[in-house]
Amino acid sequence: MTNGVLWMEIVIVAGFVGLCPYTRKQILNAVGLDDYLVLFYPIYDAFVSTSSHSGLGRKSADIGDPHIYVTAAKYEIFSQVAGIMAIGVGKLAVGSLLLRIVRNKIQIIII
């Protein structure tokens, strides 16, 4: 169920987020750093998928093999780190977008 919800969100978001770089490249012909930072988010989803296939959300007794349980926990921790980093990457993307729009020197320094 975790994978189903996660990948449905990814499909919906990819549709909207994919339109932004497409529009910038095809119509405006101006691709920036913020367009490439969006590519970071599927890393989190890959870790969650790997973890759930290894047994995320199940008890150790239900899985049976301790090695598989440790693998699930390891990838779940990796996904948490990637999720926390995604917060910073999102802020960096917004900041670089604002730097493309703003022309005032004081505002550029503040951003």
* Rounded CA separation 41/87 (Å): 10
Range of the structural domain that residue 41 is part of: 2-110
Instruction: Determine the pLDDT at residue 90.
Output: 81
If one counts the domains in the chain, the total is 1
pTM of the model: 0.64
Instruction: Determine the pLDDT at residue 52.
Output: 79
Mean pLDDT, the chain cut into blocks of 10 residues (111 residues total): 79 78 79 75 80 76 78 83 83 86 89 83
Question: What are the Cα distances from residue 106, in Å, to 5, 95, 99, 101, 111?
Answer: 43, 14, 11, 13, 9
Instruction: Determine the pLDDT at residue 64.
Output: 78
Whether the Cβ atoms of residue 93 and residue 37 lie closer than 8 Å to each other: yes
